[in-house]
C-alpha cells in the first residue's frame, strides 16, 4: 500500500533542522477559554512550537479577560470576522457553527485554519489529517485543514500501520467516551453530579441530557432515524474511509459516553485480508508512531483512561486473536487516548508544525 505520510521520528516532533523558519508565525486560537483551547496553549509550550505572537479569541462574554502565555499576559478579544488580520495560523475549537462562520474570514485574511470541528471534515477540498497517517495531504490544503473526530483518531493511529502491512477489510468498534469530548462544561457537570450523588442530593443535568454520575448512555448526538446510528458513529465511519482513502472498508461502530473525566477508550476488532497473528500485530505496533503498547496479561494491566490522560500516545493492549473468526484473519484489542491531546489539540499542533512557512504568509 502506498505510504502518503512522512515522519519525523517515532514521537512525530519536527526538529529545527526539519522545519525551515522564515518568521515566527502569528497564531490565533479560536475558543481559547475552552478545554481544547487550554490544551492548545499547553501543547505549544511543551513542544516548543514557535509563536511570534498570540491572539486569544473567544465570545463577547470572555472579551477583556486575560490568559498567561509564555510569561506574558494576553488579553482575550471578541471573535469577529476582522480578528485575523496578520494571522498566519488559526487554531479553531469552538464548534461547527463558529467554524463555518469565521474560518472563511480567516482564510481570506491569509491565515491557514486548522479546524477541530466537524464543519469541513467531509469537504472534498479540505484535507482530513492525522499526521502519523497522511501528513502528505497537508500540502493539498486550500486554506483549511480539518482535525478528525477524536474517536476516529484514537482508533486509526494504531490501525493504520497494520493496514499498510495487511489491508484491514472490516472493523467493529465500540467506544467508551469521556466527558472531555463534550467540553469543559460537561467535565464540570460530571464532577458536580457525582458529588451530588454521593451526598444524596438531587441534581438536574444542564449540559448532558442524561444523568452522568455512575451512568453509561448512548453518545449524546442526534440519531439518524433511518439507520439508527448517532452522528458520532457516522463520523467515525465516514472519516475512516476518507483518511484511509479506502471506501471498501466495512465499519460498524457503537459510541457510548461513560463517567470518566478525560481520555477515551475503544474496543476494536478488525479483520484483515490475509491471516494475521497477535505477535505480528505487536511487532508492527512496537515501532509505530504515536503508539505505546500496554499489554501485561500476567498483571491484567491494559490501557486505562487514568494512564492515557496527559499522554501523547495512543495506548494499545489486550491484543489477542478474535476467537469468533476461525480463519485467523481477525484481531481484537483495547485502546485508550487523551481526547484533549491526540484527539484534539496535539493533533492540530502536529499539523501546524508541518505547515510550510511561506504557505502561511
Instruction: Tell me whether residue 265 is one of the annotated catalytic residues.
Output: no
Does residue 360 register a pLDDT over 90? no
- 137 in the Ramachandran plot: left (φ > 0), alpha (ψ -120 to 50) or beta? alpha
Cell of 64: 477583556
Percent of the chain with pLDDT over 70: 93
Q: Give the model confidence (pLDDT) of 63-113 as tens digits.
A: 999 999 999 999 999 999 999 999 999 999 999 999 999 999 999 999 999
Which pLDDT value is given to residue 245? Answer: 97
Instruction: Tell me whether residue 264 is one of the annotated catalytic residues.
Output: yes
Q: Give the model confidence (pLDDT) of 307-317 as tens digits.
A: 999 999 999 99
Does residue 11 register a pLDDT over 70? no
Which pLDDT value is given to residue 141? Answer: 97
Catalytic residue among 255, 264, 272, 329: 264
pLDDT band at 356 (very low <50, low <70, confident <90, very high): confident
* Mean pLDDT for the chain overall: 92
Q: d(Cα 124, Cα 142) in Å, to the nearest integer?
A: 11
Q: Give the model confidence (pLDDT) of 152-207 as tens digits.
A: 999 999 999 999 999 999 999 999 999 999 989 999 999 999 999 999 999 999 99
Helix locations, 218-345, DSSP H: 231-244, 278-286, 305-308
Q: Give the model confidence (pLDDT) of 228-252 as tens digits.
A: 999 999 999 999 999 999 999 999 9
Q: What is the DSSP string of 153-192?
A: HHHHHHHHHHHHHS-EEEEEEEEEE-GGGG-HHHHHHHHH
The answer to whether the Cα torsion of 252, 161, 167, 137 is positive or negative is positive
What is the arrangement of strands in the sheet containing 168-177, beginning at the earlier edge strand?
217-218, 250-257, 168-177, 264-272, 330-337, 314-321, 291-293
Average pLDDT over residues 326-333: 98
- 64 in the Ramachandran plot: left (φ > 0), alpha (ψ -120 to 50) or beta? left
Q: Give the model confidence (pLDDT) of 24-53 as tens digits.
A: 999 999 999 999 999 999 999 999 999 999
Q: d(Cα 301, Cα 63) in Å, to the nearest integer?
A: 46
How far does CA 131 lie from the centroid of its chain? Answer: 11
- What domains sit in the chain, N to C, each tagged with a CATH number? 26-148+344-360 (3.40.50.720), 152-339 (3.30.360.10)
pTM over 0.85: yes
Q: Enumerate the β-bridge partners of residue 67.
A: 74
Catalytic residue among 141, 150, 219, 265: 150
Amino acid at each position: 500500500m502506498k505510504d502518503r505520510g512522512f515522519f519525523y521520528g517515532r514521537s512525530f516532533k519536527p526538529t529545527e533542522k526539519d522545519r525551515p523558519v522564515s518568521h515566527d508565525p502569528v497564531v490565533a486560537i479560536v475558543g481559547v477559554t475552552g478545554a481544547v483551547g487550554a490544551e492548545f496553549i499547553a501543547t505549544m509550550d511543551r513542544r516548543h512550537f514557535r509563536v511570534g505572537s498570540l491572539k486569544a479569541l473567544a465570545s463577547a462574554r470572555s472579551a477583556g479577560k486575560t490568559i498567561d502565555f509564555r510569561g506574558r499576559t494576553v488579553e482575550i478579544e471578541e471573535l469577529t470576522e476582522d480578528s485575523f488580520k496578520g494571522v498566519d495560523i488559526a487554531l479553531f475549537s469552538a464548534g461547527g457553527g463558529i467554524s463555518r462562520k469565521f474560518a472563511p474570514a480567516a482564510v481570506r485574511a491569509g491565515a491557514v485554519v486548522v479546524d477541530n470541528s466537524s464543519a469541513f471534515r467531509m469537504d472534498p477540498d479540505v484535507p482530513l489529517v492525522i499526521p502519523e497517517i497522511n501528513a502528505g495531504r497537508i500540502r493539498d490544503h486550500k486554506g483549511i485543514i480539518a482535525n478528525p473526530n477524536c474517536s476516529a483518531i484514537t482508533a486509526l493511529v494504531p490501525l493504520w500501520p497494520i493496514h499498510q502491512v495487511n489491508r484491514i477489510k472490516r472493523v467493529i468498534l465500540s467506544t467508551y467516551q469521556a466527558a472531555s469530548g463534550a467540553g469543559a462544561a460537561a467535565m464540570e457537570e460530571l464532577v458536580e453530579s457525582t458529588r451530588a450523588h454521593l451526598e444524596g442530593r438531587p441534581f438536574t443535568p444542564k449540559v448532558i441530557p442524561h444523568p452522568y454520575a455512575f451512568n453509561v448512555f448512548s453518545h449524546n448526538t442526534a440519531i439518524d432515524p433511518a439507520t439508527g446510528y448517532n452522528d458520532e458513529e457516522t463520523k467515525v465511519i465516514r472519516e475512516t474511509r476518507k483518511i484511509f482513502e479506502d471506501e471498501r472498508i466495512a465499519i460498524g461502530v457503537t459510541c457510548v459516553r461513560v463517567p470518566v473525566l478525560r481520555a477515551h477508550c475503544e474496543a476494536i476488532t478488525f479483520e484483515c485480508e490475509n491471516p494475521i497473528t497477535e505477535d505480528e500485530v505487536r511487532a508492527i505496533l512496537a515501532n509505530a508512531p504515536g503508539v505505546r503498547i500496554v499489554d501485561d496479561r500476567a498483571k491484567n494491566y491494559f490501557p486505562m483512561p487514568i494512564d492515557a490522560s496527559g499522554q501523547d500516545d495512543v495506548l494499545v493492549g489486550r491484543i489477542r486473536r478474535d476467537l469468533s473468526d476461525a480463519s485467523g484473519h481477525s484481531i481484537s484489542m483495547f485502546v485508550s487516548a487523551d481526547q484533549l491531546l491526540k484527539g484534539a489539540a496535539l493533533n492540530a499542533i502536529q499539523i501546524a508544525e508541518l505547515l510550510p512557512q511561506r504557505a502561511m504568509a
